[in-house]
Chain A
Amino acid sequence: MSAIDPRIAELIGAYVLGACSDEEAAAVREHMARNEACRREVESLLPVRDALLDAPRPAAAPSPAMRASILGRVREEATLFAAATDGTDAATPTGAADAATPAATSIPTPTGAVDTATMTGAATDPVRARAQRLGILTSRRALVGILAVLVVLIAVPIAIVGGGDPVRTGSPVIAKVDPQVAPEGTARVVREDGALRLEVSGMPVPREGRRYQVWRMVKGDPVPTPVLFDVDGRGRATATLPDVDGAEAFAVTDEPPGGSPAPTGRIVLTAAV
């Protein structure tokens, strides 16, 4: 068994801790691939890295709201996923076999191979199938379906109870806010001086690098608008909406700062107009 290259040997600790540059990490991996001693040295340090992951428990605890949010989202996605894939991939195997899918890299690196939240082209078929199924939940087509259902759920009661066209008559339209996103959230659309205005309160600040974007729903299809807005510390914001222009509703999602041509974020509210 050949010795470890001294230049690589001095990088191994930093590699295990994820403290190398990308180039250095690549050099270590390349050396591991052809040098048994190097591979063994890295493997021998993985239990140390795992031990470092066991941080002492702080006095603070994870919030119950986080649990509710995560599990609510998971159940929502599982339901949507089941509906979205019903009959479309019945032959796709799922279950225990997927969990044993081999990955391209044989040694988990501190920053790369084990953080596989992002799907890659190297995915095997079951992996790709699952990614596709879960991806459908954030795809334009799936969101169109979800938005269409929400519009029906909101627009029909308003038509029955309120009658007429409240926005045209000057009465505010109460928007439907996703209670899982904003339990205290409220929103409405009002017409003032001929312009439509969306007023929200109690909405969460989108995660970093995201803003709220307004969508015009036309025949159940989301049409992007240039209207983007942020909320203040109380979750309040006012945004001037574009003309209805044939839309049956407006919807709001969180999107990248410059907006998106198709919905990528979660629907936080819908307002039938």
Chain B
Amino acid sequence: MTPPPDHLAELPDGELMARVTATDPDAFEVFYDRHVTAAFALAYRIVGSRQAADDVCQEAFLAVWRSASRYDAGLGEVRSWLLTVVRNRAIDHLRKVTRNKEHEVHDEALAERHPAPAREGTEHEALRRTEAEATRTLLERLNAEQRRVIELAFYSGYSHSEIAEMLVLPLGTVKARINRGLARMRTDLAAGGTA
């Protein structure tokens, strides 16, 4: 397979997406290589196994390829759009396949929830790694109750009602913990992530 032209690697995501919309496979290849690590990390964080994460990423990237023209730059960054697709697909996968043994399936991922950063070759990836670290820090700054309900909602796909039932808490308590946790994260994020 011939590698994509070098100049594509210099394009920002928005311009790459315009080319992907025009069904340019070279542009898609650059897009894939640029974001697959983050997509895989998120999928793996949710589904907890490499094979399932691969499957989720495959579905998500092909979905993006086939519906690139639905991306609306006014609604956010391309990367957020892709990762939201990944997250939704991963949650779907979790609900279909591993709902009954969610905790077992997550063992592998839980063990690697806060891995030490590995060496990466590019500045771009290093930046992304820093962002992932910042996310970890944001979550760690929450109290355990807030962190737990946010993780159950966002990474395990439970509704607030399900979380309330699971943790034997009043629904209002779960809602309040989510709201307070997110507000805390918002404040920390505005202050630079690690304030």
For the complex with contacts A50-B77, A51-B185, A71-B29, 7 further pairs of A-B residues with Cβ separation under 8 Å are A48-B186, A50-B76, A62-B36, A101-B69, A108-B80, A117-B85, A123-B70
What residues of chain B lie closer than 8 Å to A166, measured between beta carbons? none
23 contacts between A and B (CB under 8 A): A10-B175, A50-B83, A51-B193, A53-B42, A54-B41, A55-B155, A57-B41, A60-B112, A62-B37, A62-B54, A74-B29, A78-B23, A78-B24, A94-B23, A98-B21, A98-B68, A100-B74, A101-B72, A102-B74, A117-B63, A117-B85, A131-B66, A133-B23
Cβ distance A124 to chain B, nearest Cβ, rounded Å? 9
Number of interface residues of A (CB under 8 A): 77
Q: Is the interface of B mostly helix, strand, loop or mixed?
A: helix
Contact indicator A58/B22 (Cβ below 8 Å): no
Contact indicator B32/A71 (Cβ below 8 Å): yes
Residue with the greatest number of chain B CB neighbours at <10 A, chosen from A19, A46, A105:
A19
Interface residues on B, range: 35 or more
Using known A-B contacts A57-B118, A57-B129, A71-B29, determine if residue A20 contacts B159 with beta carbons closer than 8 Å: yes
What residues of chain A lie closer than 8 Å to B62, measured between beta carbons? 70, 73-74
Contact indicator A13/B181 (Cβ below 8 Å): yes
What residues of chain B lie closer than 8 Å to A105, measured between beta carbons? 75
Contact indicator A67/B189 (Cβ below 8 Å): no
Contact indicator A134/B23 (Cβ below 8 Å): yes
What residues of chain B lie closer than 8 Å to A57, measured between beta carbons? 37, 41, 115, 117-118, 129, 132
What residues of chain A lie closer than 8 Å to B189, measured between beta carbons? 47-48, 51
Using known A-B contacts A14-B175, A75-B25, determine if residue A127 contacts B129 with beta carbons closer than 8 Å: no
Q: Tell which of A53, A72, A133 touches B84, judged by Cβ atoms closer than 8 Å.
A: A53
Contact indicator A95/B81 (Cβ below 8 Å): no
Complex A-B, nearest 3 residue pairs according to Cβ-Cβ distance, in ascending order: A117-B63, A116-B70, A13-B178
Q: How far is the CA of A159 from the CA of B25 in the complex (A)?
A: 36
Q: Please report the number of residue pairs spanning A and B whose Cβ atoms sit closer than 8 angstroms.
A: 258
Closest B residue by C-beta to A69: B58
Contact indicator A45/B182 (Cβ below 8 Å): yes
A136-173: which residues lie under 8 A (CB-CB) from chain B? none
Interface string of A1-25 (1 = CB under 8 A from B): 0000000011111101111110000
Interface string of A38-67 (1 = CB under 8 A from B): 000000111111111111111111110111
Q: How far is the CA of A51 from the CA of B139 in the complex (A)?
A: 10
Q: How far is the CA of A263 from the CA of B138 in the complex (A)?
A: 48
Cβ distance A76 to chain B, nearest Cβ, rounded Å? 9
